[in-house]
Structure 1
Amino acid sequence: MKKSELKTIVARGEDSLLQFKADLRNADKLAAEMVAFSNSEGGHILIGISDQGEIVGIPNSEIGRINQLISNAASQHVRSPISPVTENVLVAKGQVVIVVTIPKGMDKPYFDRNGVIWLKNGADKRRVNSKEELRRLFQMSNQFHADGLPAKAGLEALDKLLFRDFLKDVYNIDLPDSQEKLWTLLKNMNLATDDEQLNLAAVLLFSERPEWIKPQFIVKAVRYPGNTIHATEYLDSEDFDGPLQKVFDDSLAFVLRNLRKVQAGRGVNAPGSPEIPPVVFEELLVNSLIHRDYLVSAPIRIFIFDNRIEIISPGHLPDNLTVEKIRLGNSIIRNPILVSYATKGLLPYRGLGSGIKRALEEWPDIDFTDDRDGCLFTVTVQRKIEEKLKTTDISQRTSGESSGESSGKSSGK
């Protein structure tokens, strides 16, 4: 890195990826910064830059001591040890700035020597205090997944008729006739924990009333007049609960009944087709139910406006997944148990990474917003304004009538 490049970087100021240090004397404090970067998105520590962004530099005589302190902090004061990369940038005669690059951790969560987990919080850092945040860090490292967590529910929560029909349809086996055999089967199917509790996937898929156990994992849908959210005014509103398959069916029905119908070149007495192909919402709703973050205690929300339809899912895109990548069909499995059962016919799930692409093929005017600060992922399906729909419908009917007249003339010759 050249001095000019360093100045450009410093001019931007500290943020969640950049930290300034005029000097280093304390390995524990440095380790806490390293832990925060490793548990977040990685970043850089510039040693020889004051908090005010002034390039003060480090004397050449101090380089050895600071590099040793960096090495000790990374290897002895962080669990698991990390491997930072250092670069010395000459800023004046006998003065350097040491650039320490800490990569995004692959073995999260990382702890300091006192067992504290740190996360970046803007330009600062903060302790991880909640179980929810801690679980998310473990989930990001694939040490567990939310759908496999115990749901504090026993066999009394299982809808045995629903589960019996699934076993018969998919595996052609009968429901076990004893609790012991049933628990063994549930464990083998990754639907129960070793200490005989139903996990979250089992509750969401096969519980008669999942909302009694996990009331936050429902879908809330509202049709608003106009193009903005109203505090009290709405045209249609409903909450959807029950097993995941029922939630999907009811949510899809709500969206479809609030779509406009177009004749699409057919006669005026024909029932008309939805303005947006239903398969678009099939794919997007399945994607939301299967891939949402179940470590976030919040419902999926569907907002229908005159000009758009929003599906808002708890949890931003995991790991290094981006909007650009999902548009190309890339995906990361956040809830592998739910995915495995969706592929068995419980939901119209057609394969990892294919849903977004299929929705875009059917209706390209879809926007995606990955809100990492708000921990939300929003899909916005743009609607054609009503005048355009009418114009399209008239032109299609006119085209059909012209085609029919031409056809009639030809056949009469």
Structure 2
Amino acid sequence: MPETNRIEYKAQLTKDLDLEKEVVAFLNYHEGGLVYIGVDKNGNTLGVADPDADMLKIKDRIKNNIAPSAMGLFDVVAEEKDGQPIIKIIVASGSEKPYFKKKYGMTEKGCYLRIGTAAEPMPRKMIEELFASRTRNSIGKIKANRQDLSFAQLRIYYEEKRKPLNQQFKKNLELLTPQGDINYAGYLLADENNVSIKVAKYKGTTRADLAESNEYGYGSLIKATKSVLDKIELENRTLTQITSKERLEKRLWNRIALREAIINAFVHNDYTREIAPKFEIFQDRIEITSAGALPEGLSEPEFFEGYSVPRNKELMRVFKDVDLVEQLGSGIPRILKTYGKECFQFSANFLRMVFPSAEPVNTTDQVTDQASDQVDWQSLVDTYLAIKNGVEPNQVNFLEWLQTNIQIILHELQESFRITSGKLQESFGKGFEIPKILGSENTSGKPSYKKLPNSFIILMLLAMDATITAEEISVLIGISERAVFSNLDKLKNANLIERVGGRKEGYWQIIEQE
């Protein structure tokens, strides 16, 4: 493929290569673009000798040599082409144009624009016009109405990814205004705020009859995002059809598309209007609504092509750091793999995504034994999610809580997966006896429990949370990640679980027994 208005090739990364010029040109271009390192001008693959080292250099150069800050507006990924490693730099169109090389400032030698297949100097008049119209009402510029904010949750999310935050993290993550106050992005990511996120469930196809309302938020936006993901994952039940030849399973909604839509709503919502995204489940569909029209300069066709113009680059950067976002511009194409363009509804003030259900959503409020069991189970899962998404659960208390609710979990394993007490004993050994693990009162009147195998504890966690990670399991039950993987292997070998999908997008699925 030859170079285009959105693709630039560079043979290798050197000190003499003016990489900053190419990146600045794409930041100032309304479609953004891609820079490939390890490919010559004719599109021939040359490869990169040390991709990891070059990727670090690229990130440092873009971070330190370009203004305004491009953090959250670019991504650097390793790829393979013709059997050789290359580097792809994804650059989004920025909202604070004109971008420029710090060395030369906001001059014709510092500002560039992509024209055809070249980065051309920006005329002085264009520089002045862009600066005059630069977006000033962004969450990075707005001072938070509270300055007494703490960030314990944010620190934990970064520590989970082995990226501990230092004392300068508010400045490094751009959570401060130019005057040094905590900005609105910082407010959204703080331990406490007044942002309410609602997940509503209706009995029919209109908003006339509310069946259930859950409220999240009032804390770190990352925690709220994870809570909404977990809640809707619980609602996204598996449908099973057994034919003479095979067993067919599918979800109410495609899991990957649904996850992308939820995260997209959080990251691209226009918080300057003080309106949060909302999530609504109807009998025949799920609706995800975020505030704000398409960013200025981005057309609907460009939106569907996956061109990225992040509204909140500060949030985009943090969400990417904690692995909630993978690559810039990847979300919409993933949604379109399952749902057509007609699922998107654009207006002057909102963007709504509507995914039809594979079959009617169960919203009955009739109380039967089965429904009562489901209420107990859902209540248990909601409590678990609150513990999991808390600042840092106490391991002993969590394990005690898990064991006191073991009867509900055993019932769910039996009802949903046909995992009997016999199968559990076969998998975990003769010493695994249901009466013993259910506990009995000791002389002090308190329940006395038999210590549970870690592999069984992990099985219980997977029953409540298919998307839980090895890191999260490690924190919850107090064992190393290596031990977690060892126990997951035991469950796989016992034919109790299987991995569906890849490492980042995949999940563990409990196997329904014959």
User: Quick check: which has more Rg, 1 or 2?
Assistant: 1
Instruction: Provide the TM-score with structure 1 as the length reference.
Output: 0.50
